[in-house]
Structure 1
Amino acid sequence: MGAITQLIANTVASSAVWSPRLRVRLLRLSGAAIGAGTRIRPGIRFIERVDLLRIGDGCFINVELLVGSNAPVVLGDRVSIGPRVQLVPTTHQIGPSEARAGASVSAPINIGDGTWIGAGAIVLGGVTIGSGCIIAAGSVVTADCEPDSLYGGTPARLIRTLDAASESSRTQGAR
């Protein structure tokens, strides 16, 4: 990421002084593709290239999203991201005992339409989360998730499938 682009994306756009609408404009100026009606709260950070981020229409991104964009990160329409979520498409190969973090490897992250990712969740590279999923708070998603399903845990596992229709009487974390 160029110095000016990095300054705009990680310092200026991330600041709490800007409205969500102006924050979206600043991130677009930095190279991100962001759909209509998307709102982004303060604190968004990029480890690398902001131009690899694609966000659909009508999304909501809560505070302190971390995007490690060395590979494409794509959010469909109407995706909701909780606070302090991390989207990390890069990892390392396992190296020899004297340096276990080997060469970097990156793979895209794709998040389907209507998905909700709970607070503090981590989504790793090479993962596709199907449309209509819920990822429970604090989960670590290391593998693909089937559409219309609830996943949780470390690593995230299928908890149950969800009806395609609204389940308004249930909420994440309700007992």
Structure 2
Amino acid sequence: MADKKSGANLWDIFLQFLIIGAISFGGGIIAYERILLVEKRKWLNADEFMAYLAISQTMPGLNSVNLAVLTGDFLRGVTGSVCAVLGLLLPGSAFILGIGILYSSNSNHPMANIILAGIAAAATGLLAAITYRIGGDHWRHMKSLAIVLATFVLMSLFKLSLLAVLAIMAPIALYVYRPGKSI
């Protein structure tokens, strides 16, 4: 294990994670991390990668960032973790900051609101598609559909906050799907 640590300098860790952060903004980041860590740089073997990924999934936060923390620590200690995380987060953060600055200086432009409406529509469509896929067989059951519909009505028509909707719907959903109760 010591030979792997000596093969990675801090600049290289930062640069490699910076590239991952730049090319994977929006998705696929774990796959890019695996390519970098296992195949390209060989800083980890496949079993070590899977072990670090499993650990990162138990930690709070984003799996990709947790994986960067664990890998950076393995390679160069706390400083390696900081370099890996900074490299991973810098491109996305800079992009979002740039877009925010552009919007704040052009928020009154009619095209800005049209672009934002298009982004919102795309995000809504993606969220609906993911929700449908995750729901699986639950879409066939009236109880599940009733919970989804009630949540939608509370948020969309009554304009309740997320916390208020959770306070109302979570106990109902827990009761409906309590252990030992079939759908």
TM-score, length of structure 1 as denominator length: 0.24
Higher relative contact order (CA 8 A, sep 6+): 2
The structure carrying a bigger strand percent of its residues is: 1
The structure carrying a bigger helix percent of its residues is: 2
